[in-house]
Amino acid sequence: MNSKIKVFFVFLAVLAVFSVLSFSDILRGIHSANLSNTLKSSALSGQSDDIDNDGLSNVEESYWNTNFQNPDSDSDGFLDGEEVASGHDPSVKGPDDALIESNLTQKLANLTLGGVMEGSLKSDSPDYDKSVNALTLSIVDDGLISFNPEISLSDLKTIDPTKESKDIYIAQIDSVLEKLYKALSQETKEIGAKLELVNNGGMSNPQFIEYFISQREIFNAIAKEILQIPVPADLLNKHASFINYILTLSKVNDSLAKGKDDPIRATVGFNLFIGLVEDFSTVIQSSFLEN
């Protein structure tokens, strides 16, 4: 394992702190909520349940006046949750219900409007606090899910797990790690300054967009390279987890590049970036140093 990569473990955590502080000033504390704690601390028994597994919680079903026991309330062939995520009314069948990429900001607006109309998100409602918490949980949960990479083990090339094949594999991986180290190190150092660009034109700033598109493509290229490396069969799951880590970095940068269209997802993405930086040493340790 390259010594620079091992030393990098220490510096990443320190640099991440400065990145957090920079973004805190820019987004005025929006990112400060701990996403994992938000998920863990929800005590709303039944509020976030999804009985019909359509992607909408029972509370959200009430917002949209849909049937919580029917996954496709308007019988148009699309799940209620899919329609809401793509900006459509799940209770109305329409010719334009083709689904588009999920937009968390639009979903929040839609659910908030539905909650106000239904009454549970009016400030004088006895269920106001519970409804706000359920809404927050739903948005955060969907946000985290949207960053999950889609990789199949069948896409990976496997070889017999001999000592020789493992030595070759580690040698090839070391080259990829060097590129990942360089890309992540550079972004961790630069991200604070790049986020300052939102002070001039918001997330529509061309330099802001171009930077995160560039970073997205760098991580995509690294993931593509590692996908071509034959992996000993007994290391397949660890190999896949490492690829997922890199692809998540790509998705995070993509969310920031598209922040002008979905600022909430961009905020969730930045929170994830900090976590990914902090997890770097753990990922490398579990994937390679234990073998």
Q: What is the pLDDT of residue 130?
A: 76
Q: Which two tokens stand for residue 22?
A: 């920079």
Provide the residue count of the chain. 291
Q: Are 189 and 215 in contact (CB under 8 A)?
A: no
**For residue 21, what are its two tokens?**
């502080």
Q: How far apart are CA 113 and CA 17, in angstroms?
A: 36
Residue 229 has pLDDT above 60, yes or no: yes
**Tokens describing residue 39:** 């998920």
Cα separation, 104 vs 263, whole angstroms? 8
Q: Give the C-alpha separation, 205 to 195, whole Å.
A: 10
Parse the chain into domains and list their residue ranges: 3-32+151-289, 35-145
Q: Are 230 and 159 in contact (CB under 8 A)?
A: yes
- pLDDT level of residue 89 (50, 70, 90 thresholds): low
Position 221 pLDDT exceeds 90: yes
Tell me the pLDDT tens digit for each residue of 108-146: 777 777 777 767 667 777 777 777 777 777 777 788 888
In tens, the pLDDT along 7-49 reads 333 333 334 333 433 443 434 333 343 433 433 333 333 445 6
pLDDT above 50: residue 226? yes
Mean pLDDT over 260-272 rounds to 90
CA 239 → CA 103, 190, 223, distances in Å? 30, 28, 11
21-30, 154-163, 250-259: segment of lowest average pLDDT: 21-30
Give the percent of the chain with pLDDT over 90: 33
- 180-210 per-position pLDDT tens digit: 999 999 999 999 899 889 888 888 999 999 9
Apex CA 119: angle with CA 41 and CA 121, to 5°?
A: 35
List of residues 6+ apart from 274 with CB closer than 8 A: 16, 19, 20
| H/E element, 68 | none
- With CA atoms as reference, report the closest residue to 99 among 113, 122, 80, 124: 80
- Predicted local confidence at residue 281, as pLDDT: 85
Q: What angle do CA 7, 9, 15 make, to 5 degrees?
A: 105
